[in-house]
Chains A and B, each alone.
Chain A
Amino acid sequence: MSYRFTVSPDFTPEKLSGWFIFNTWLQRAIGEGIHLDMYDSFVQQRAAIAADQVDLIYANPYDASMLVRDKGFVAVARPRGRSDEAIVAVPASSPAHRVEELRPGARIVSTDDPDVDMMGMIILEAADLRASNTVRQTTDTYVLVAKKLLKGEADIGIFLAEAFDGLSPLVRADLRILVRSQISVVQHILLAGPKFRPRQPDITSALLHAQDDPRARLVTEGLGFTGWDAVPQEEVEFMIDLIDTLAFRPED
């Protein structure tokens, strides 16, 4: 039997080969055929999930609720010590130095990365900014978010903190961070679907022991991770409850 694996489309392009190498390693580690399908957008990936075409997924936390509660996925592992954080930034020339100085009607640019967008919009609630009183723009990458701000085509940018920190020093110098989130508990997670569920303990074990094998450790590092940790199902449920509260925006 062959299984299908996919990765949240918000990975950075330089990690693409790392995920293919990881998939090759994982197939050998657990003795199963696994095909890696990469999707260009969250919309395409969600359509594949809805059609039961995904058995293993490195999931964006925003999608974890649907995967776990609607589609019966279970937690396999999570990368060690990594959480998703958002940055709200403006051009350095902006008169705003605090979120509270931003005004309705502002043009907000972000990517389609759902958890980062959600965290960014929560930060902007402090200025009474909502989807309904702002102008939203979406780009494919965080570099393009920065470009839109620098060209004056948007007033506020929402970034994955890691992506903002990876911008060139020159670009960062022309932007001003208003808020960097410190939420800590929102993170990507590897989940196994119902078909793959019987092999979940084997996959978890292979990932946890990856740090003991120099070659497997290189594979992990190729993804930008220092290691994998087990994740109790209740912790996944707790993260989902937390994201449920964050996604709840009654005044939009």
Chain B
Amino acid sequence: MRDMEPADVGGYPYVEHHLTFHDGTHRRVLVVDREMPFPDGKLIVSATDLAGVITHCNQAFIDMSGFSREELLGQPHHILRHPDMPAVAFAGLWETIERGEKWHGYVKNLRRDGAYYWVHAVAVPNVREGRIVGYTSVRRKPSRSKVAWATQVYPTLFKDGR
């Protein structure tokens, strides 16, 4: 997963962040204060393998993330991680789906161009012949009241208190 470059953000003012993921990898991201509204009536759909590597994405995912299909397939799902998302907001995600149960949450995702979009995400394990073989995540349009709640609460959940 490559670091973001100033050319990615198309001339918008940006703030630089350095993210460290659960697998120990790092990424420099450039964040632009510009929201992309979730399109009415659509769903963002993706599937990953057991390690969280993207194996399937639909057109709405491509359109909203700003990445091409080729850029998404084979990448870890945290290519969408926005620095405003505290790790604790995902607490229980992996634990829940690895247990074979459904997980849901409100998530601010980072686009390829540094802008962001909010989703209501639901993830389920793909169980085949009694074994979990991967995961499917479907993101739908969140209500603005849920986005307002998350925007207020998430900044208070960072361990470093930022």
Contacts and interface: CB of A to CB of B under 8 A. Distances in A.
A242 B138 contact: yes
Contacts of B144: 100
A181 B47 CA distance: 21
B128 interface: yes
Interface stretch (B15-23, B28-36, B118-126): B118-126
A73 to B, nearest CB: 16
B104 A181 contact: no
Contacts, number: 65
Interface stretch (B5-13, B37-45, B66-74, B108-116): B37-45
A250 B45 CA distance: 19
Contacts of B143: 100, 125-128
**Max chain B C-beta neighbours (<10 A), residue from A123, A126, A128, A180:** A126
A156 to B, nearest CB: 15
Contacts of A241: 124, 126, 136
A238 B141 contact: no
Given A241-B126, A245-B124, A248-B124, A183 B102 contact: no
Given A123-B41, A125-B143, 19 more contacts: A99-B40, A122-B140, A123-B40, A125-B120, A126-B40, A126-B141, A128-B143, A128-B146, A181-B41, A182-B41, A182-B42, A185-B58, A238-B126, A238-B136, A241-B124, A245-B102, A245-B138, A246-B43, A246-B140
Interface of B: 40-43, 45, 47, 56, 58, 60, 102, 104, 120, 122-124, 126, 128, 136-138, 140-146
